[in-house]
Structure 1
Amino acid sequence: MDTSQTYSLFMATDVACRILGVDPQVMLDTAGLGALPYGQTEMRGTAQQYFDCWNTMEVLSPRPDYVPHLGVAISRGPVIPVFFTLSCAPDMETGLMRLAQFKSLLGPTLMRVFWEGGQLRVEFDSVDARVPMPPSLGALQLVVAVEHMRGAAAHLICPVAAGFDGTEEERRMIAGHLGIMPERSHAAYVAFSPDDAKRRFISENPALWADIEADLRLQLVAQNDRWPMADRVRGALVDLMPAGRTGAEDVALALDISRSTLQRRLRAEGTSYQDVLDSTRRDIAIRYLTKTTLRADAIAQVLGYRDANSFSRSFRRWTGQAPVAFREDQARPVRRHGDTA
């Protein structure tokens, strides 16, 4: 494995720290990563640095129930596009298979989904056997997976088996939430019954999934310089915007090129950074307004705006309407010629 490969630290610095009430800069300093420019550019780290962040948050967390609290909050809290792989799916098995394709967008963890002994088994592990995943992060993966399944199915799904490499105390910490006592095992895993694996999701949304999948694939190929620069920028923005990082410098760093190179290559394609940013935001905003029930302030956060008012001003500039008015117009049935009121 290429140990220089890096991963977004968004889930650690922007999501987990906010939920736990931990200062991101204090966490980075404590983990020995204080040189990373938090809040200025896209933050990425190696697998070891990523895991160091999680170990440090466990130490700094003011909550003894750190893992279940964080797992439930992540599942019910901020809009994280990768998790639409689950909520848009028709059932658990399909959703987990989709998530496994894009799991690396959330950090240096592998996700395997397969049938074994009549159960649907999901395993989580480090991308590098030389850099083990912290037990607490393994436990968190289990809580997040179960919580997402319950929300998508609107049913109290309980796994039939689970395990991770934690002490008895650590395993008991999440047993109440899972509904089962995890065993001690090298791989973090959770297994579900066939009935639950095929249970229909009430959140199924095939129209939204088609768009989300395209965006997530762009994120995966953003590092491939054979793709058009506009597509690479769009893919990077999907990853960066929820963290509020929408500047050309942020994107250039994420793509490992200079800002001048980024701008020059976009000009050669007949566009500009601002045009790509605006079109990406506009397309995603319209998608969420017409295909989901997300509130305007949640959409604003996904798009990297400071607040809903800033988002509303931009949306008016793009469409001539406020977001709520646009959603209402799109939901109104089209009256055909000759119809009567």
Structure 2
Amino acid sequence: MDSPQTYSLFMGTDVSCRILGIDPQVMLETAGLANLAQDRSELRVTAGQYFDAWNTIARLSPRRDFVPYLGVAISRGPVIPVFFTLSCAPNLETGLTRLAQFKSLLGPTRMQVFKDGQLLRAEYDSVDIHSPMPPSLGALQLVCMLENIRGATAHFVCPVAAGFDGSEEERRQIASHLGIMPERSATTFVTFSPEDAKRRFISENPALWADVEADLKLQLAAQNDPLPAAARVRAALADLMLSGRTGAEDVAISLGISRSTLQRRLRQEKTSFQAELDATRRDIAIRYLTKTTLGVDAIALVLAYRDASSFSRSFRRWTGQAPGAFRQARRRG
């Protein structure tokens, strides 16, 4: 029998828990997942376990309005590459279509985007028919989406309609953020007017998107396909760095193999873990320095460095220049 598909719990343990001030270990113990976290640097869980963790976060949250609070904080907080699917797009319709392709990298939810007459409609549901998506998680998807769209358009985009299977109180909690009162619906959905569907994004960045898309496709492929070891290591690092993990042991656990097996496979491909780590960090650093306005501190954080000074030393070793000087030189060129 095939093993069930698993998903990173990074958005729960490292993002949502941190924002809400919840101890991730307490959350995992309460959700009955503590045994899965032992000696694992990255926790990967089934769809059912993921939703159990989310429901536990909802119960432990010190805020009643945790859904809109989390949605805004996540959208304005850590750099999460999947969100570049929206921000780099030329318009809303293209951005949502791209996001739907890579949605599973954020957890066990499926997103469908299609035309409903003249309207643009996006629907969310679980990837597993036996494990329904919690209504509050559906509400979070709507809040995050709207927050990212408004940032990308510099316009208060208001959906034509929205809905999820929440109580009246739960729906009122996100109504002010959405700009409309969402209806009670078995399907989590949002629809936009034709004008908003084609609204231009001021954050459009086709050059950055070309690189990000390649990385995201690699991460999707690494979930199932037997890629070369070096490619799988790079995909794992791109995922793990978001939670500050860059060790060989971290990557080996993520790939489900021993550290010695990982090192042996890399040697067979005439490379090493350190070489792949440096190359991954270097490529991402150059991308963000040349194709975004992210500061050196923010880039260092994305690459899981202790501080900007450590990142700058590594970057100088790779390129012979400090990050700021490299950025200026590329812009002049």
Query: Does TM, scored on the shorter chain, surpass 0.5?
Result: yes
Task: Quote the residue 1:66 is aligned against.
Answer: 66
SS state of the match for residue 130, structure 1? coil
SS state of the match for residue 131, structure 1? coil
Amino acid corresponding to residue 107 of structure 1 in structure 2: G
Task: Quote the residue 1:241 is aligned against.
Answer: 241
Deviates more, 1:29-38 or 1:240-249: 29-38
* C-alpha distance in 1 between matches for 2:103 and 2:110: 7
Matches within 5 A, 1:272-311: 272-311=272-311
Q: CA deviation at 1:40?
A: 5.0
Show structure 1 runs of 4+ deviating over 4 A. Answer: none
Task: Quote the residue 1:261 is aligned against.
Answer: 261
SS state of the match for residue 223, structure 2? coil
**TM-score (norm. length: structure 2):** 0.97
* C-alpha distance in 2 between matches for 1:171 and 1:193: 21
8 Å contact kept, 1:72–1:144: yes
Amino acid corresponding to residue 148 of structure 1 in structure 2: N
Query: Are residues 191 and 239 of structure 1, via their aligned partners in 2, closer, same or farther at CA, if it must alter by over 3 Å?
Result: same
Aligned residues: 333
RMSD: 1.5
Amino acid corresponding to residue 130 of structure 1 in structure 2: H
- For structure 2, list consecutive stretches of 5 or more residues without a partner in the other structure: none
Deviation per CA, 1:1-55: give whole Å up to 9, x if none.
9672110000001111111111111111111111233795111111111111111
Deviation per CA, 1:287-319: give whole Å up to 9, x if none.
000100011121112112222222122112111
* C-alpha distance in 2 between matches for 1:213 and 1:267: 28
Task: Quote the residue 1:57 is aligned against.
Answer: 57
* C-alpha distance in 1 between matches for 2:38 and 2:67: 24
* C-alpha distance in 2 between matches for 1:39 and 1:160: 47
Task: Quote the residue 2:86 is aligned against.
Answer: 86
Matches within 5 A, 1:108-187: 108-187=108-187
SS state of the match for residue 158, structure 1? coil
Q: CA deviation at 1:219?
A: 0.4
**TM-score (norm. length: structure 1):** 0.94
SS state of the match for residue 42, structure 1? coil
* C-alpha distance in 1 between matches for 2:139 and 2:87: 21
Deviates more, 1:216-225 or 1:3-12: 216-225
SS state of the match for residue 49, structure 2? helix
Deviates more, 1:244-253 or 1:99-108: 244-253
Deviation per CA, 1:109-163: give whole Å up to 9, x if none.
0000000122100001001111011111000000011111111011000000000
Task: Quote the residue 1:214 is aligned against.
Answer: 214
SS state of the match for residue 35, structure 2? coil
* C-alpha distance in 2 between matches for 1:59 and 1:39: 26
* C-alpha distance in 2 between matches for 1:239 and 1:219: 8
Please identify which structure carries the higher helix content: 2
Matches within 5 A, 1:9-48: 9-37=9-37, 41-48=41-48
Q: CA deviation at 1:331?
A: 1.5
User: What percentage of aligned pairs have identical amino acids?
Assistant: 74
* C-alpha distance in 2 between matches for 1:206 and 1:179: 30
Q: CA deviation at 1:248?
A: 1.2
Query: Are residues 74 and 93 of structure 1, via their aligned partners in 2, closer, same or farther at CA, if it must alter by over 3 Å?
Result: same
8 Å contact kept, 2:40–2:253: no
* C-alpha distance in 2 between matches for 1:118 and 1:225: 38
Deviation per CA, 1:158-204: give whole Å up to 9, x if none.
00000001001100100010001111111111110010000000000
Query: Are residues 2 and 93 of structure 1, via their aligned partners in 2, closer, same or farther at CA, if it must alter by over 3 Å?
Result: farther
* C-alpha distance in 2 between matches for 1:178 and 1:255: 39
* C-alpha distance in 2 between matches for 1:3 and 1:186: 29
Task: Quote the residue 1:250 is aligned against.
Answer: 250
